[in-house]
Amino acid sequence: MAKEFWRWKEYNWKSETIDWKDGNTVSCGIDVGSVSSQAVILVDGELYAYSSMRTGSDSPMSATNAMNWALEDTGMTQDNVHYVVGTGYGRVNVPFANKTITEIACHARGANLMYGNTVRTILDMGGQDCKAIRCDEKGKVTNFLMNDKCAAGTGRGMEVFADLLSIPIEDVGELSFQVDEEPPPVSSTCVVFAKTEATGLLREGWPKNKVIAAYCSAMSHRVVTLLQRIGVESDFVITGGIGKNVGIVRRLSQELGFETLKTNYDSQIAGALGAALFGRALAEKARN
């Protein structure tokens, strides 16, 4: 079988130090995105376990799979979870959710915990859409816009390019800097046209690093224009899968003139983490 360069790693994680049996409230957030699904389990607001995997064609199934994978080896079952919040593009497809919340609110809430309460601007670069969010010190949304009409500036576009150029998706960022000089960006933002353009550039003899650099640069420019509509205020962060791609992150910070904050958390779990935090608050609200 041909190597699939776009295929990113699926993974799960579990805390070694927390015993969920000591917790009063166990909440779970499930973020069913267009490309990846995450499940995050919190015990009294502390990160206990999470998983991240591909969504595939069956959203309810992937919600269940993500949940089960996060629960793996924890001794916990779904009955031990007090509150489940579904979020993301496929949030209506989480069969066991107590409530669904829009991913815009969840990303702001999640980023507030992951990066601290100084975060004011969040750019979520997801699999198939891109959201620019402004929030206050409590992680409450104050301004947002979403671009889910086309795949330009999304993870899906990057997957297409990784495959075209036979570069493993995790290496795209670093390789895009291994060029003699920064090439001009590809002129089309549309993924389909950009791919055609890239094929032409390869034929002209451009090395693939240079082509991926031109694409990263076009993608950064595209989302900068989105961000400018809502205005950028520091601290600025990038969540979602593209948050791990230095090729985009560094070019974007340069163009905006804002450094992005770093975190020890996984940038892809922001939505599910926010959902789980809302889940905890809602469970406690219902109890009182």
Partner 1 sequence: MIANFGYKDGSGDFYISIDTDKCNGCGDCIPACPVGLLQIRENEYDPMADDNMVVVLEEHRKKIKYSCAPCKNEGKDSILPCVKVCLPNAITHSW
Q: What is the contact surface with partner 1 in residues (CB under 8 A)?
A: 99, 101-102, 104-105, 140-150, 189-190, 225-226, 229-230, 278, 281-282, 285
**Of the candidates 191, 199, 257, the residue with the CA atom closest to the CA atom of residue 224:** 257
* Least Å from the CB of residue 62 to partner 1: 22
Pairing mode, strands 99-100 and 83-87: parallel
Residue given tokens 């859409």 in the structure block: 129
Look at residues 57, 1, 12, 17 and name the one whose alpha carbon lies nearest to residue 34. Answer: 57
Beta carbon nearer to partner 1, 125 or 282: 282
Closest to partner 1 by CB, 215 or 278: 278
Q: 274 and 108 in contact (C-beta within 8 Å)?
A: yes
CB of 1 closer than 8 Å to CB of 20: no
DSSP character for 170?
G
Rounded least distance, CB 274 to partner 1, Å: 10
Q: Taking a C-beta distance cutoff of 8 angstroms, is the pair 13, 66 a contact?
A: no
In the chain, the amino acid numbered 48 is Y
Q: CB–CB of 239/267 below 8 Å? A: yes
The residue among 105 and 165 lying less far from partner 1, judged by its C-beta, is: 105
Q: Please state the closest distance from residue 282 (CB atom) to partner 1, in A.
A: 7
Q: How far is the CB of 15 from partner 1 (least distance, A)?
A: 26
Which of residues 153 and 173 has its CB atom nearest to partner 1 in the complex? 153
Nearest distance in Å: CB 226, partner 1? 6
Identify which of residues 182 and 284 has a Cβ nearer to partner 1 in the complex: 284
Q: Which is nearer to partner 1, 19 or 148 (CB)?
A: 148
Both tokens of residue 227? 């961000």
Question: CB of 197: closest distance to partner 1 in angstroms?
Answer: 14
Interatomic CA distance for residues 92 and 59, integer angstroms: 9
Give whichever of 43 and 106 is closer to partner 1, judged by the CB atom: 106
Q: How far is the CB of 196 from partner 1 (least distance, A)?
A: 15
Q: What is the Cα–Cα distance from 229 to 247, expressed in whole angstroms?
A: 23
Rounded to whole angstroms, the Cα distance separating 281 from 244 reads 29
Other C-beta atoms closer than 10 Å to the C-beta of 15 total 15
The C-alpha atoms of residue 132 and residue 121 are separated, in whole angstroms, by 7
Closest approach, Cβ 34 to partner 1, in A, equals 14
Our CB check for partner 1 shows the closer of 139 and 173 to be: 139
Residue with the two structure tokens 């905890």? 280
